[in-house]
């Protein structure tokens, strides 16, 4: 358990059960106190990041319980109303800064605490008030201004500042869904550090041809809606003997799996040290897994909407915006919750209760066969472990789910919900770059592109990525019936060679193998990456937004592990010029064969909104799988015991007493 001694005590130390245990509230407070004293900025100091520096792999792999643990915290801090960021490390045990660097051109993220301050600054500006009055809007108190990160478009007057670019909506009454009422053509640019309004753009002021604000109420809040369909019969998840998983601190053991979980302000949910025990032997599969970045580019050049190109992880912090989850609503079944503690903008610990949800689910058939000669059936059901969290970024909800299956499969699924970002149009007019989802309300075409950072260790750290393409042989002497096709595998040996895209014409996939370990037929053990949600990225790579999202143009990148290479678009994405991260790291074309490697998979959603996506979008899904391919010598769940679900009932009263093995 965590034990903290007073800073003045001799031999001040922080003791944890494991090197990957997350930072506690006390550690966050101590780190921020050290930084306040070190930098001497008084009340002007701001904290973008305080997070655990994960110990080296050799420390984690060789850790013996009871061994003293070095605890380091990574920080990004800055001075209010000044440019630049100090980044470095604090030794929490010693209570001092042990590394620091000043980056004069870096811009910190926009923090949640600044969202409403930006809105207040915009609404206090007389130019904004005048623009609202020109549209005949009388209830100024119901106007809503959403802050967006601004990108880097070379606009005069924006250089050298940390700015937000805003869009405007309004409510018709309290609790009204304001995204149903976009106020088109008004954009306010705010200096986030000083809260100075730099510019108010009214795109229709010169012409006077204003797009009317749509007034039709389109609501979802249960305090407003009055008509509901008849409720369904209860569908309960019951585990009378409790769940099958065991939680010890941040370690989870379930079926043959074991792993650790953590959470940080930028990536959100992180999985560590995933291993599968089979035949009495624990076999490592993946050292660390996270969603390291995401970008949401909108596809319209109209007005100022071209500036909608947001990196929700790197510019806001995906984890900072996480929800507290509700039992019986967000999560069903026998649940274990993990609370999370993150620093706020002022360096104080902020708790997010019930931030990570852990539970089991039925996952359908595991395997089945009916022997028509003996007329015997054998069937087993599959279950999966679910580790999830949900983040709200402005109008969108992102629900992240990691699934571990009994058969060794790892799956990541993103469920996107919330409310589509809306603009206004004259009702019934043609929309080239979007869909009119309600009279006068447009949802523009856009994408959500995520980058998964998967630090692989399939049977150990010496891994190679194999590209697997299927080829059809031409009809001829070796293929007289024209039916032959086969899979050709080749290793991706260097970083530049390993920048790859999905090719449906070749049914291309990638396999991460360990050439040093073989299965019972002499082939390297491996895991297949199933890329079911690869998307084509449409921003021009030479455009200001395309340059900042270089990772999105390839579905696969492979790099040798480096502890400082964590974010595919770079460490400081807000207002960046582009080129950082993966495009820069891979220029050296380092070898990636039979080494400790990281694979980066770009995937996501290509979203042309539908009327059905409004006023609240039903969940749309994307993700990927890692499936054992030669990792096991045979079906690893052949040993699932036969059984039946006694809670299942038939409307005919049928008793399925022998459902899993019967004649």
Question: Could you list the active site residues?
Answer: 312, 396
Residue tagged 């050292």 (tokens): 287
CB atoms within 10 A of CB 96: 11
Please give the structure tokens belonging to residue 71.
Answer: 């605890």
How far is Cα 86 from Cα 41, in angstroms, rounded to an integer?
12
Closest-CA residue to 419 (of 648, 189, 176): 176
Radius of gyration of the chain (CA): 27
Structure tokens at 195: 């809260």
Residue 52 CB: number of other CB atoms within 10 A? Answer: 20
Instruction: Tally DSSP H helices, then E strands, for the chain.
Output: 5, 33
Distance between first and last Cα of the chain: 54
Element (H, E) at 34: helix 25-39
Angle CA 633–638–642, to nearest 5: 175
**Which residue do the tokens 């049914």 mark?**
507
- Residues 62 and 183: their CA atoms lie apart, in Å, by 59
CA dihedral 183, 189, 193, 194 (to 10 degrees): -100
Work out whether the CA dihedral 124, 128, 130, 132 comes out positive or negative.
Answer: negative
Encoding tokens for residue 385? Answer: 């472990």
CB 252 within 8 A of CB 261: yes
- Residues 594 and 513: their CA atoms lie apart, in Å, by 9
- The angle subtended at Cα 302 by Cα 296 and Cα 307, nearest 5°, is 35
Distance, in Å, from the CA atom of 175 to the CA atom of 615, rounded to the nearest integer, reads 14
Of 451, 73, 407, 45, residue with least CA distance to 267: 451
CB 379 within 8 A of CB 641: no
Number of C-beta neighbours around residue 28 at 10 A? 25
Of 569, 562, 580, residue with least CA distance to 451: 569
Percent helix / strand / coil, the chain, rounded to 5: 15, 40, 45
Joined together, the tokens standing for residue 526 give 């491996």
Rounded Cα gap, residues 76 and 572, in angstroms: 10
Q: Which of 158, 141, 112 has the alpha carbon at shortest distance from 304?
A: 158
At residue 462, the 3 state secondary structure works out as: coil
The pair phi, psi for residue 439, each rounded to 5°, is -55, 115
The beta-carbon contacts of 86-90 under 8 Å, at least 24 apart in sequence, are: 86/39, 87/571, 89/53, 90/31, 90/34, 90/35
Question: CA–CA separation, 85 vs 575, rounded Å?
Answer: 13
Instruction: Answer yes or no: are the C-beta atoms of 493 and 592 closer than 8 Å.
Output: yes
């Amino acid at each position: 358990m965590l034990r903290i001694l007073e800073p003045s005590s001799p031999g001040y130390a922080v003791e944890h059960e494991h090197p990957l245990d997350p930072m506690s509230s006390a550690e966050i407070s101590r780190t921020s106190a050290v930084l306040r004293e070190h930098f001497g900025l008084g009340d002007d100091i701001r904290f973008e990041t305080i997070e655990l520096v994960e110990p080296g792999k050799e420390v984690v792999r060789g850790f013996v319980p009871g061994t003293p643990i070095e605890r380091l915290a990574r920080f990004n801090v800055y001075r209010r109303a000044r440019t630049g960021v100090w980044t470095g490390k604090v030794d929490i045990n010693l209570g001092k800064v042990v590394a620091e660097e000043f980056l004069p051109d870096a811009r910190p993220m926009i923090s949640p605490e600044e969202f409403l301050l930006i809105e207040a600054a915009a609404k206090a500006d007389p130019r904004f008030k005048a623009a609202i009055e020109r549209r005949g809007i009388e209830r100024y108190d119901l106007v809503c201004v959403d802050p967006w990160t601004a990108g880097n478009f070379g606009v005069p007057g924006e250089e050298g500042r940390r700015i937000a670019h805003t869009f405007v909506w309004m409510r018709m009454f309290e609790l009204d869904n304001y995204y149903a009422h976009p106020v088109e053509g008004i954009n306010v640019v705010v200096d986030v550090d000083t809260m100075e309004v730099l510019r108010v753009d009214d795109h229709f002021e010169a012409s006077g041809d204003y797009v009317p604000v749509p007034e039709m109420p389109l609501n979802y809040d249960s305090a407003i809606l009055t008509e509901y369909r008849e409720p369904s019969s209860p569908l309960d998840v019951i585990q009378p003997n409790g769940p099958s998983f065991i939680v010890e601190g941040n370690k989870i053991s379930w079926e043959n799996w074991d792993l650790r979980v953590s959470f940080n302000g930028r990536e959100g949910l992180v999985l560590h040290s995933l291993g599968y025990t089979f035949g009495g032997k624990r076999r490592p599969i993946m050292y660390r897994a996270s969603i390291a970045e995401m970008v949401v580019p909108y596809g319209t050049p109209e007005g100022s909407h071209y500036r909608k190109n947001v990196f929700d992880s790197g510019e806001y912090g995906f984890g900072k915006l996480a929800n507290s989850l509700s039992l019986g609503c967000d999560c069903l079944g026998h649940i274990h919750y993990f609370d999370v503690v993150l620093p706020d903008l002022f360096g104080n610990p902020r708790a997010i209760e019930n931030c990570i949800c852990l539970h089991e689910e039925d996952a359908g058939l595991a395997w089945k066969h009916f022997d028509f000669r003996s007329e015997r059936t054998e069937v087993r059901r599959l279950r999966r472990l679910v580790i999830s969290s949900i983040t709200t970024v402005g109008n969108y909800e992102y629900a992240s789910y990691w699934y571990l299956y009994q058969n060794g499969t790892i799956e990541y699924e993103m469920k996107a919900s919330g409310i589509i970002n809306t603009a206004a149009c004259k009702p019934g007019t043609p929309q080239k770059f979007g869909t009119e989802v309600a009279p006068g309300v447009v949802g523009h075409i856009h994408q959500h592109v995520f980058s998964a950072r998967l630090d692989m260790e399939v049977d150990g750290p010496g891994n190679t990525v194999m590209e697997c393409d299927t080829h059809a042989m031409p009809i001829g002497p070796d293929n007289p019936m024209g039916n032959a096709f086969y899979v050709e595998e080749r290793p991706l040996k260097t970083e530049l060679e390993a920048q790859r895209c999905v090719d449906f014409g070749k049914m291309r996939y990638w396999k991460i193998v360990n050439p040093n370990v073989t299965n019972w037929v002499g082939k390297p053990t491996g895991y297949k990456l199933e890329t079911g949600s690869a998307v084509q990225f449409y921003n021009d790579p030479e455009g200001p937004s395309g340059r900042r999202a270089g990772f999105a143009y390839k579905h696969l990148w492979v790099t040798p592990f480096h502890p400082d290479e964590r974010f595919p678009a770079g460490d400081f994405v807000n207002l960046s010029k582009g080129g950082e991260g993966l495009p820069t790291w891979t220029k050296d074309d380092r070898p990636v064969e039979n080494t400790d490697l990281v694979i980066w998979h770009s995937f996501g959603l290509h979203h042309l909104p539908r009327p059905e996506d409004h006023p609240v979008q039903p969940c749309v899904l994307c993700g990927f799988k890692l499936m054992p391919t030669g990792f096991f010598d045979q079906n690893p769940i052949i040993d699932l015991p036969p059984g039946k679900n006694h809670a299942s009932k038939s409307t005919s009263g049928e008793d399925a007493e022998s459902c899993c093995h019967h004649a």
